[in-house]
Amino acid sequence: MKHVWLAALVTTVAIPGTLAAQQDTVPDRPFVRGGVYDRPFLFELLGRAAFGGYAEFHTRWAREDGINEFTFVPKRFNLFTAAQVSDFVRFSAELEFEEGTEEILLEFAAIDLTIHRAFAFRAGMLLSPIGRFNLAHDSPLNEFTDRPLVSTEIFGVALSEPGLGALGAFPVGRSGRFTYEAYLVNGFSDALITNSPEGTRIPLGRQNFEDNNSAPSFVGRVAWSPSLALELGLSAHHGPYNQFSADGVSLDDRRNVSLYVVDLDAAVAGFRLSGEGGLGRISIPAALSGINAGRQSGFYVDVVRDFGRGWIPTMPVAFFSAGLRVDIIDFDTQIPGDDKRQITLGANFRPTNETVFKFNYVRGRTTDRFNNAAQFAKLLFSAATYF
């Protein structure tokens, strides 16, 4: 039998955005819907630990400037575990295998010490709270095959960083609440400007597992949810990315990278709305001015509607959904060009809440730093399930 804490913290996950359909009370609501302690298949195997995971498979056809590509991709295989070590201490971890073990990443591994509902200490490999999507990006939960452009190419989702800090929740009224997360982390490295011939690419500065400048960065998010049908979040990530001193000797000016994000998750008139928008500011050396971008921005908006419940007699809980996503990112806001924008149309089938088959059509355009445009189109099919 599952422990009582699992019954409260690891409930069957509703599909993203269906806030109004959840009947849990404020104290029982997961800290982040679809986050590390809110997954449907955490089963107790031995002792006090629980285990689960998810798998994702892609079929992809793409055409850009007359060139076709067709491929199958074993995209992700993730394993996670959680344990209630004592009344006050719990542990959770997630290990990700990408594209047939081409990449193996420890995405999350943290120890939580809960002093009060309003204050818990957390330390380990953290999922940085830079926008809601980084905290709840499991493929079976999300409605589109690819992750949002702004989340992956500007913020660096999935962004995991070693660090420590605090998190907590405060009730607001009968059904509302306020939550926060605040951590000191290693931050990004100078690979964000040195490892890409295309210019500044913040995600390349990830995986800074030993801080290159001994100066921690700050990352935090606050979220306000007046009801189960609405959550609004604000996030920030700030700190140095270059090695500016060594043994007390100044080597360079301190150069910071800062990210600012607003996110929304809502249920309105039967539609599920979600999105994020943000801005990145990067201190660029004078020698690279005009070559590397000092400002980047972008946003995405998802609109999804469920339908067809009960259409398949042999699958009484199955349903369909249709969705639209708009993605726009600008890798350099100070020049024309160097941007990407796309529209995605999606149709999904869910035999259960935990399994999804996704069909997407993507149409978009990119421009390089000289404002040369290229059109592209994609047809995507993916399957994802918890286990």
User: What's the chain's Rg over C-alpha atoms?
Assistant: 21
How does DSSP assign 65-105, residue by residue?
Answer: TTEEEEEEEEEEEEEEEEEE-SSSEEEEEEEEEETTTTEEE
Q: How confident is the model at residue 176 (pLDDT cuts 50, 70, 90)?
A: very high
260 pLDDT higher than 50: yes
Asked whether 155 and 261 are in contact (CB, 8 A), the reply is: yes
Contact 208, 186 (CB under 8 A): yes
The CATH number linked to 213 is: 2.40.160.10
Mean per-residue pLDDT over the chain, rounded: 91
Rounded Cα gap, residues 350 and 310, in angstroms = 12
Span 296-331, pLDDT tens digits? 999 999 999 999 999 999 999 999 999 999 999 999
Q: Which residue has the tokens 């209630």?
A: 84
Mean pLDDT in residue range 43-47: 65
The larger pLDDT score, comparing residue 168 to residue 21, is at 168
DSSP state of 45: -
The per-residue pLDDT for range 184-233, each reduced to its tens digit, is 999 999 999 999 889 999 999 999 998 889 899 999 999 999 998 999 99
pLDDT one-digit tens code per residue, 54-95: 999 999 999 998 899 999 999 999 999 999 899 999 999 999
Q: What is the pLDDT at residue 16?
A: 36
Q: How far apart are CA 329 and CA 258, in angstroms?
A: 16
Q: How crowded is residue 145: how many other Cβ atoms within 10 Å of its Cβ?
A: 25
Cβ-based burial of 235 (10 A; exposed 0-12, middle 13-18, buried ≥19): buried
3-state secondary structure of 336: coil
Residue-level pLDDT at 24: 44
DSSP 8-state code for residue 289: B
- In percent, how much of the chain has pLDDT > 90? 80
Count of structural domains within the chain: 1
**Res 33: pLDDT:** 84
Dihedral sign computed on CA atoms, order 26, 28, 31, 35: negative
- In sequence order, what are the residues at sequence separation of 6 or more whose Cβ sits closer than 8 angstroms to the Cβ of residue 178? 169, 170, 172, 222, 223, 224, 225
**120 band by pLDDT with thresholds 50, 70 and 90:** very high
Domain that holds residue 148: 4-386
- The enclosing H or E element of 8 equals helix 4-9
What residue type is 196 in one-letter code?
S
Count Cβ atoms below 10 Å from residue 195 Cβ, excluding itself.
12
Tokens standing for 37?
Answer: 């302690």
pTM of the entire predicted model: 0.90
Question: Would you give the distance in Å from CA 14 to the centre of its chain?
Answer: 17
